[in-house]
Structure 1
Amino acid sequence: MPKIVDHAARRQAIVEAYLDLVRKQGIGSTSSRSLAAQLGISNSLLWRYFNDMNQLLVQSYHTIIQNVDDRIMFAIAGHRGVDAIRRMVHELLPLDDVSRAEARIVVSFWGLEVTKGTRLSPSAHETEAWSSILETLLRQAAEVGEIAHADDRTLRDTAFAIMALTNNAQIGYATKDDDAVAVRTEHVIGRMLTAE
Structure 2
Amino acid sequence: MPKLVDRDARRREILEVTWRLMATRGADAATMREIARAAGYANGALAHYFANKDALIEAAFTYVFDRTNERIRAAVEGRRGLAALRAFLVEVLPTTELTLLEARIVLPFWSRTVTDGRLARISDEAMQTWRRDLCRLLAQGREDGDVTVATPDDVLAEHLLAMAMGLQVLALLPTAPTAADTQLRMLDDHLARLRAA
TM-score calculated relative to the size of structure 2? 0.87
Tell me the SS of whatever aligns to 1:122: helix
Q: CA deviation at 1:27?
A: 2.4
Q: Which residue of 1 aligns with 2:80?
A: 80
**Counterparts of 1:141 and 1:40, CA distance in 2:** 48
Q: CA deviation at 1:59?
A: 0.8
Is this contact kept in 2: 1:93–1:182, CA < 8 A?
Answer: yes
Match for 1:189: what amino acid? H
Match for 1:14: what amino acid? I
Single out whichever of 129-138 and 117-126 deviates more from structure 2: 117-126
Query: Which whole-Å deviations, capped at 9, do the CAs of 1:62-90 have from their partners, x for residues lacking one?
Result: 01111111111111111111111111111
Q: Which residue of 2 aligns with 1:166?
A: 164
Match for 1:117: what amino acid? D
TM-score calculated relative to the size of structure 1? 0.88
CA distance change for structure 1 residues 118 and 125 in 2, over 3 Å: closer, same or farther? closer
Is this contact kept in 2: 1:22–1:30, CA < 8 A?
Answer: yes
For structure 2, the 5+ residue unaligned runs are none
Tell me the SS of whatever aligns to 2:119: coil
**Counterparts of 1:112 and 1:14, CA distance in 2:** 21
CA distance change for structure 1 residues 14 and 85 in 2, over 3 Å: closer, same or farther? same
User: What aligned pairs does 1:1-196 form with structure 2 within 5 A after superposition?
Assistant: 1-114=1-114, 117=116, 119-123=118-122, 124-148=124-148, 150=150, 154-176=152-174, 178-180=177-179, 182-183=183-184, 185-196=186-197
**Counterparts of 2:157 and 2:112, CA distance in 1:** 27
Q: Give the percent of matched residue pairs that are identical in Structure 1 and Structure 2.
A: 29
- What is the aligned-residue RMSD (CA, Å)? 2.1
Q: CA deviation at 1:58?
A: 0.9
Q: CA deviation at 1:149?
A: 5.8
For structure 1, the 5+ residue unaligned runs are none
**Counterparts of 1:195 and 1:150, CA distance in 2:** 8
